[in-house]
Amino acid sequence: MTPIDGSQLDLADLAARSLDELGITDAAALEAVFTRLDAGLASEVGALQDSAGTADAIEALRVRWLGRKQGIIRSITDGWLKNAPGELKRIIGQRTNALRQMAEEQIAGVAKQLQLGAIAEENSQGRQMPLPQSDWAATQNSAAQQQLSYVPSPFLDITLPGTHRPAGVRHPLRQVINDMVEIFTSLGYSVEDGPEIESTYFNFEALNIPEHHPSRDDQDTFYITPETVLRTHTSPVQIRTMEKQSPPLRIIVPGRVYRRDAPDATHSPMFHQVEGLAVDTHITFADLKGTLDYFLKSFFGLSVQTRFRPSFFPFTEPSAEVDISCLFCAQAGCRVCKGSGWIELLGCGMVDPALFNFVQYDASQYSGFAFGMGVERLAMLKYGVQDIQQFYHGDIRFLHQFR
């Protein structure tokens, strides 16, 4: 029998003929015919992609290659594979499997392309259709599929420059607060907060600041109503916490506070404080000194020295002002320390027993200390910031220095 010239046949016809008819008797001839099938599949899929084929055309291609009755692959497995001699069977099996997989992936790829095109069309007409789920994952299945099914849709112009998202930084005040929280939590303190809009009871009365005290003056306080203020310090949270919890107690309270001050290089009507409060049996002034000395050395560096000066606050007795040795001149005297070698930093003292009466703590059993410090002040000293207003301007050039 003279073999048929397979090269003239359509691929479906080719697959329908027997190997005998085609005169294929060895591995080399088999390889050649499968190479032709591979190329045929690729070019048919490619043609469909270029013509942005319809769903019908895609289905026709699928039936032609993968159809269960007369698909090319079915013809090969039914005809060639079954009747081939042993040594050719293995080649036919392997090549047919590869061909089937390629056909499945590539035809699914064109179908996906059609679907995406339809969505783009819908969207361009003002209707929003969701992208099919796991569209990206579907294109990741194999390199071959990626190549053939990856078609730029109107969604994605890969020639456009990417979206640049500059990395942000934590605001220096937040960094300082975080540092402080870390140091104090390592000492067993927990973090509390309270409202910025506060009653005069918590902001003043319960802190032993009677009505005629100068700090209640309109000059210093933003009044909302005669009984409501923007808190002028974080100390009201001392009272709020003691009302809620019984001793022992160790808390710090970072937060915003407000005062009627005209803004300048060292003043702002809004700034931040961190309050501290420890109440327990047998708490002494030595604990207060040790705690603040430890904190300031951890925060500014071990070489910093601390100094406690007598002072007055209505809610602590005795009270003290804490200074640190000047960070800028090694105590030789400079502009920052105004020649004194010391920088005034914070207020503190032993909790005035009068406060315990407000919160029903037994003043004969418990004692405590409290302190309050300005976050901006610490930040300005630590980073050498000259103007407090810089913290509030949101100038990227300023903020990026704190990376």
Q: Report the interface residues with ligand PHE, using CB under 6 A.
A: 233, 235, 275, 313, 316, 347-349, 370-372
Give the nearest distance from C-beta 168 to ligand PHE in angstroms: 31
Nearer to ligand PHE (CB atom), residue 52 or residue 363: 363
Nearer to ligand PHE (CB atom), residue 223 or residue 328: 223
Nearer to ligand PHE (CB atom), residue 194 or residue 347: 347
> Does an H or E element contain 310, and which?
strand 306-313
DSSP 32-81: HHHHHHHHHHHHHHHHHHHTT--HHHHHHHHHHHH-TTT-HHHHIIIIII
Nearer to ligand PHE (CB atom), residue 113 or residue 238: 238
User: CA-based diameter of the chain, in Å?
Assistant: 123
Give the nearest distance from C-beta 365 to ligand PHE in angstroms: 21
Residue with the CB atom nearest ligand PHE in the bound state: 372
Nearer to ligand PHE (CB atom), residue 64 or residue 233: 233
Distance CA 358, CA 371 (A): 19
Q: Using the CB atoms, write b or e for 123-161: b if 16+ within 10 Å.
A: eeeeeeeeeeeeeeeebeeeeebeebbebeeeeeeeeee
Distance CA 283, CA 389 (A): 38
Report the candidate in 106, 111, 98, 97 with the shortest Cα–Cα distance to residue 146: 106
Give the nearest distance from C-beta 372 to ligand PHE in angstroms: 3
Give the nearest distance from C-beta 289 to ligand PHE in angstroms: 14
For residues 196 and 231, is the Cβ–Cβ distance under 8 A?
yes
Give the nearest distance from C-beta 315 to ligand PHE in angstroms: 6
Give the nearest distance from C-beta 349 to ligand PHE in angstroms: 5
For residues 149 and 376, is the Cβ–Cβ distance under 8 A?
no
- Tokens read off for 170: 């934590």
Nearer to ligand PHE (CB atom), residue 135 or residue 344: 344
First to last CA, the chain: 84
Give the nearest distance from C-beta 207 to ligand PHE in angstroms: 8
Mapping DSSP to helix (H, G, I), strand (E, B) and coil, where does residue 101 land? helix
Distance CA 372, CA 341 (A): 22
Q: Quickly tell me which residue has 């409060």 as its tokens.
A: 277
Nearer to ligand PHE (CB atom), residue 172 or residue 347: 347
Nearer to ligand PHE (CB atom), residue 116 or residue 249: 249
Give the nearest distance from C-beta 399 to ligand PHE in angstroms: 27
Report the candidate in 97, 101, 103 with the shortest Cα–Cα distance to residue 45: 103
